[in-house]
C-alpha cells in the first residue's frame, strides 16, 4: 500500500494544497474536521484503486477531477465562515496594478509554456521523452501549471471584489472570463500530470503500447483547454480595460493596446473559421495576446507605482 501512496503524492499534494487554501482562516474545529474528511477520502480512493489495479494516470485524473468538481461547493462552504480577517492598507489602484502584473505573468506563462512538443517530433518519441525526463521534472511542470491556474482563479476573485463595486456588469464579466481561463489551465495541469505519469510508466515498461494512443487523446484535450484559456483571457482583458478606462484608473492612450488586440482577435476568429494557413493563425494569435500582455504590464506598473490617476480610494477591508 505504501508504494501506491508514494506514487499518488502529487495528486494528494494538490488536493491538500487546495484544502489548506480554502480552510485558511476558518475556526480550528471546522478546519480540522474538513482536513480529516479529505485525508480519509484520499486514502480510501487510493486503496480501492490499488485493489482494482487502476492505472496510476487514471487515478490521478479521478482525484484531481473530484477536487475540481467540488471547488464551487468548497467555496460555498468557505463563505459560511466569512473572509479572512485581513486589514488591507493598499489602495485600490495599487492593488489593481499588482493583480494586473500577476495576471500578466500568469497569462504569458500559462499560454506559452507547454512542457511537451508535438510539432518537432512524432508523438511516440515525445511521449517516450516525457517518460524518461524523470518524475521530479514532470511533477514540477504539473505543479507549475496548477500554481498558474490557481493564481488566475485568485486574481479573478480579487479583481471581482475590487472592481465590481465600480462597474458591476463589466467587472463581473472580466472576473468570470478570468476564472474560466484559470479553470481551463487547472484542468490542463491535471491532464499534464496524467499524461506524464502514464509516460513514466510506459518508459519503465509498465504500461502497454496502447498508452501512447490514450495519452495522445489527452494531449488533444489539453491543447483544446489551452486554446480555451487563451480565448477566455482575451475578452477578460477587454472587459478589464473597459472598467479601468471608465473609472479613470487607466490612461486613455492605453486603450490602443486592447484595440490593437481586438482587431487581431477578430481577424483570428475569421481565419480560424475560414481555416486559413497555420502561420496566419499563429501570427494573429500572437497579435492578440502580445498587445494584451503589454497592456497588463504597462497599466499594471503605472497603477502600482502611482495613485495619481484617481486619488487614494481605499480597498475593502476584507477579501
Q: Catalog residues that contact other proteins under the rule CB under 8 A.
A: 1, 15, 33-34, 36-41, 43-45, 47-48, 62, 65-77
Alpha carbons 251 and 263: distance in angstroms, whole number: 20
SS3 86: coil
Q: How far is the CB of 72 from other proteins (least distance, A)?
A: 7
Q: Would you say 72 or 205 has its CB closer to other proteins?
A: 72
In contact, 192 and 145? CB cutoff 8 Å: yes
Report in angstroms the alpha-carbon separations of 40 from 9, 54, 159.
14, 19, 35
Place of cell 517518460: 131
Question: Which of residues 33 and 314 has its CB atom nearest to other proteins in the complex?
Answer: 33
Residue 66 beta carbon to other proteins: minimum distance, rounded to whole angstroms: 5
Residue number, 153 or 234, with CB nearest to other proteins: 153
Q: Rounded to the nearest 5 degrees, what angle is found at the Cα of 75, between the Cα atoms of 35 and 177? A: 135
The burial of 43, by beta-carbon neighbours within 10 Å (0-12 exposed, 13-18 middle, 19 or more buried), is given as: middle
Q: What is the DSSP letter of 30?
A: H
Exposure string for 26-41, b = 16+ CB within 10 A, e = fewer:
beeeebeebeeebeee
Q: Which C-beta is closer to other proteins: that of 1 or that of 204?
A: 1
CB nearer to other proteins: give 36 or 305: 36
Give the whole-angstrom CA distance, residue 18 versus residue 230: 24
Closest CB 216 distance from other proteins, rounded Å: 21
Q: Min. distance of Cβ 88 from other proteins in angstroms?
A: 27
Report the C-alpha gap between 124 and 144 in whole angstroms.
24
Shortest Å, Cβ 76 to other proteins: 7
If the CB atoms of residues 42 and 236 are measured against other proteins, the closer one turns out to be: 42
Smallest distance, Å, CB 182 to other proteins?
16
Amino acid at each position: 500500500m505504501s508504494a501506491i501512496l508514494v506514487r499518488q503524492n502529487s495528486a494528494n499534494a494538490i488536493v491538500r494544497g487546495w484544502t489548506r487554501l480554502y480552510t485558511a482562516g476558518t475556526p480550528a474545529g471546522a478546519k480540522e474536521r474538513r482536513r480529516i474528511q479529505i485525508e480519509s477520502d484520499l486514502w480510501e480512493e487510493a486503496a480501492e484503486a490499488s485493489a482494482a489495479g487502476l492505472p496510476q494516470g487514471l487515478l490521478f485524473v479521478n482525484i484531481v477531477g473530484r477536487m475540481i468538481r467540488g471547488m464551487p461547493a468548497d467555496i460555498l462552504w468557505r463563505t459560511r465562515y466569512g473572509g479572512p480577517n485581513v486589514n488591507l492598507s493598499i489602495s485600490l489602484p495599487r492593488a489593481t496594478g499588482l493583480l494586473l502584473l500577476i495576471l500578466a505573468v500568469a497569462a504569458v506563462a500559462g499560454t506559452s509554456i507547454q512542457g511537451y512538443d508535438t510539432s518537432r517530433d512524432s508523438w511516440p518519441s515525445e511521449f517516450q521523452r516525457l517518460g524518461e525526463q524523470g518524475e521530479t521534472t514532470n511533477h514540477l511542470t504539473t505543479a507549475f501549471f496548477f500554481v498558474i491556474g490557481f493564481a488566475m482563479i485568485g486574481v479573478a476573485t480579487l479583481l471581482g471584489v475590487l472592481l465590481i463595486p465600480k462597474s458591476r456588469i463589466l467587472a463581473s464579466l472580466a472576473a468570470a472570463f478570468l476564472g474560466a481561463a484559470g479553470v481551463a489551465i487547472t484542468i490542463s495541469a491535471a491532464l499534464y500530470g496524467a499524461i506524464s505519469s502514464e509516460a513514466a510508466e510506459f518508459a519503465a515498461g509498465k504500461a502497454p503500447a496502447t498508452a501512447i494512443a490514450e495519452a495522445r487523446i489527452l494531449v488533444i484535450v489539453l491543447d483544446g483547454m489551452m486554446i480555451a484559456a487563451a480565448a477566455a483571457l482575451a475578452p477578460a482583458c477587454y472587459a478589464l480595460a473597459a472598467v479601468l478606462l471608465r473609472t479613470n484608473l487607466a490612461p486613455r492612450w492605453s486603450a490602443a493596446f486592447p484595440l490593437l488586440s481586438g482587431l487581431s482577435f477578430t481577424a483570428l476568429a475569421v481565419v480560424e473559421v475560414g481555416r486559413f494557413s497555420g502561420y496566419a493563425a499563429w501570427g494573429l494569435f500572437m497579435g492578440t495576446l502580445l498587445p494584451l500582455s503589454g497592456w497588463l504590464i504597462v497599466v499594471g506598473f503605472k497603477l502600482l507605482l502611482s495613485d495619481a490617476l484617481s486619488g487614494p480610494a481605499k480597498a475593502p477591508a476584507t477579501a
